[in-house]
Amino acid sequence: MTGDWKQRPSAERITASQRSLVASLVVALGICVSVAWPARVVASQALAQKYGCVGCHQATAKVVGPSWKDIGARYGEGKVTAAQLAASIKDGGSGKWGTIPMPPQTSIPDADLQSLARWVLDGAK
């Protein structure tokens, strides 16, 4: 085995090297996704509490406004983008879910609006 790698053509050595690098990157990406995803969900639940969204919205029950589940069902699966839903949250409005208006949420930073919108569209889990 010693010196065997020297006898291989350089193209094979690069390919083996590249395969090893790709395998390492795939493992690293898997670890990052598995660690980051729960943190994103927790952060979004925390954002919903931080900005008082939970005063009008709950996971499965209509309170003042629709539940996260109902919002996700209406707007999820590619019907609207997170950016569109974030803009709707920021602008507020009335008539989409009944007669009670949603006040504009202009004090919430755009990055947090995007995170909340993505969380709702992903099922608010």
Instruction: Report the pLDDT value the prediction gives residue 43, as an integer from 0 to 100.
Output: 73
pLDDT at 34: 46
pLDDT tens for 12-63 read 556 666 666 555 554 554 455 444 545 555 678 899 999 999 999 999 999 9
Do 63 and 56 contact (CB within 8 A), yes or no?
yes
How do residues 93-113 score in pLDDT, each as one tens digit?
Answer: 999 999 999 999 999 999 999
What local confidence, expressed as pLDDT, does residue 57 receive? 95
Say which range, 32-36, 63-67, 71-75, has the weakest mean pLDDT.
32-36
- For the chain, which domains are there? 4-121 (1.10.760.10)
pTM of structure: 0.66
- Residue 103 neighbours by CB distance under 10 Å: 9
- Among residues 85, 31, 77, the alpha carbon closest in space to that of 57 is found at 85
